[in-house]
A and B are shown apart, each in its own frame.
Chain A
Amino acid sequence: MARKALLISPELCIGCRGCQTACKAWNQLPATKTVNKGTFENPPDLTPNLYNRIRYVEVPSETNMVRWLFVSQRCMHCDDAGCIRICPAPGALFKTKEGAVAFDKNKCIGCKLCVAGCPFNVPRYDEKDKISKCHLCSDRIAEGLSPACAKTCPTGAIAYGDRDELIAKAQKAGYQKLYGEADLGGLGVLYAFKDAPKLYGMIEKPEIPETVLFWHKVLKPLSYIGLAGAVAAAALHYIAIGPKRDEGGE
């Protein structure tokens, strides 16, 4: 099956936050009591009950008084997902056939290693210490529907479809390179940015933490190689040299 993805176009986003509500409605996520902290942005961060949110970023503009950017924040559905790599519980975090990084709360053991493995600081934990995050509405997309956020977006700022087609569409609209096109094996959430990702508050070059990669590539195989090696060395010693016995000695 062709890999599915979301194409986020902040240029088209009007900051209406229909996506925030639609997500909560579909996933039946309760609201949090918030206060206004001097900005439209609310809640101030992703929570176990907030899978996606719009960040409101005011940046200087050359032509207008100011530039007000609306940027969707959510799980990026990495192809090479740090969370899946580090997760010790099989099936707790997994890839769907559409390419979504989904989760199974029943299988989550609440260790939160995924928080450490995620380059985007996305995973959150609910009150039962179970993983909670955007899963690209894996239940909807499995039935051929689009995710709730994309479905509700009035301007097409969140577009859902075949990843290749979305990239082609964005290229046609003049976006030579999309954010997330090649990072981490290609993200499942692509951003059509007009300027440097930094301006939008995004990490320039998202990467799985070096330590996680080192662990995954070196330490993990070394554990059983080392164990096997130690056992083998002992056996070899036993055969070649043999045990220390007291016979014949002083």
Chain B
Amino acid sequence: MTQYIKKATAAEIINHWLLAGSFFLLAITGFGFLFKLEWMASIFGSFHSMRTIHNWSGVVFIIALLGTVFHYLPVALSWSKDDIEWFKKAGGYLSKGVKVPPQDIINAGQKLFYLFLLISGIVIAASGFVIWLMAGVREWVLISHLLHNIAFDLLVIAIPLHIYLGTLANPGTFRIMVYGTVPVEWARKRHGKWVQRLGY
């Protein structure tokens, strides 16, 4: 019988889905505004209600994003030689049979991704709030508008990759966000340090 270990708490899972869900809404409404997509606006009612949804999704997004700080920030900031090695080997994604150094509960790529997400998430949210709440203050809005869109571009590139890596590219990963548990053997291969630390 496969032995499972808990990798994510319920709070983590809920928070992640809030973040993912709000991001999804934000991203598609963002595209709606960017390209003035009437059909999309009609799904949300109107551009006006779409704006409301976009803005309030932003509130959910930033709360969820800040929630992740408790979950991932300490580990994302703990870097070791193994992490560098991991990167040198591109996480083993570029060819089969490459051995990567043992990783913590999240691997080096995930650490970097998290830091990127945190920073760009804060930027896109903060600039979004400026555009929303400081509407009409020209200089602030202009710079925020720029940052909001730069962050948006980065996120719409990074998030699909994150989804790919968390699903198709790594079978067995997605269940973390469903059950919070992974098979020990699965974890040992990917998060050796963590498993070891847990004493398995």
- Asked whether A and B interact, the reply is yes
Q: How many residues of B contact A (CB 8 A)?
A: 46
Closest B-chain residue to A242, C-beta based? B96
Q: Please choose the segment from A13-21, A56-64, A141-149, A211-219 that sits at the chain B interface, where 4 or more of its residues have CB less than 8 A away.
A: A211-219
What's the Cα separation between A224 and B66 when bound, in Å? 27
Closest A-chain residue to B170, C-beta based? A244
The reply to whether the CB of B47 lies closer than 8 angstroms to some CB of chain A is yes
> B47 touching A109 by the CB < 8 A rule?
yes
Report which of B153, B170, B172 forms a contact with A222, defined as CB distance below 8 A. Answer: B153
The reply to whether the CB of A201 lies closer than 8 angstroms to some CB of chain B is no
Chain B residues with CB under 8 A of A109: 47-48, 50-51
Closest chain-A Cβ to B137's Cβ sits at a distance in Å of 8
> B51 touching A212 by the CB < 8 A rule?
no
Report which of A92, A223, A233, A242 forms a contact with B152, defined as CB distance below 8 A. Answer: A223
What's the Cα separation between A208 and B135 when bound, in Å? 18
> A226 touching B135 by the CB < 8 A rule?
no
> How many A-B residue pairs lie within 8 Å, measured between CB atoms?
121
Q: Helix, strand, loop or mixed for chain B's interface?
A: helix
Q: How many residues of A contact B (CB 8 A)?
A: 42
The reply to whether the CB of B160 lies closer than 8 angstroms to some CB of chain A is yes
The reply to whether the CB of B84 lies closer than 8 angstroms to some CB of chain A is no
Report which of B149, B152, B156, B170 forms a contact with A230, defined as CB distance below 8 A. Answer: B156
Closest B-chain residue to A124, C-beta based? B136
Chain A residues with CB under 8 A of B43: none
Beyond the given pairs A88-B51, A230-B159, A234-B168, 20 more chain A to chain B contacts, judged by CB atoms under 8 angstroms and listed by A's residue number, are A86-B145, A89-B51, A92-B47, A110-B135, A113-B141, A115-B135, A115-B138, A115-B141, A209-B142, A211-B146, A219-B153, A220-B35, A223-B31, A226-B153, A226-B157, A234-B160, A238-B168, A241-B93, A244-B170, A245-B171
Scan B60-96; emit 1 where CB is below 8 A from any A CB, else 0: 0000000000000000000000000000000011111
Chain A residues with CB under 8 A of B143: 211
The reply to whether the CB of B164 lies closer than 8 angstroms to some CB of chain A is yes
- 9 smallest beta-carbon distances between A and B, as pairs: A112-B135, A234-B164, A88-B33, A90-B36, A230-B160, A226-B157, A116-B141, A211-B146, A89-B47
Closest A-chain residue to B139, C-beta based? A116
The reply to whether the CB of B161 lies closer than 8 angstroms to some CB of chain A is yes
On whether A215 and B160 interact (CB within 8 A), knowing A111-B135, A112-B136, A222-B153, the answer reads no
Chain A residues with CB under 8 A of B171: 243-245
Chain A residues with CB under 8 A of B31: 223-224
> A227 touching B157 by the CB < 8 A rule?
yes
What's the Cα separation between A77 and B44 when bound, in Å? 32
What's the Cα separation between A25 and B96 when bound, in Å? 77
> B96 touching A223 by the CB < 8 A rule?
no
Report which of A88, A212, A246, A250 forms a contact with B142, defined as CB distance below 8 A. Answer: A212
Chain A residues with CB under 8 A of B170: 243-244
The reply to whether the CB of B113 lies closer than 8 angstroms to some CB of chain A is no
The reply to whether the CB of A107 lies closer than 8 angstroms to some CB of chain B is yes
What's the Cα separation between A214 and B145 when bound, in Å? 11
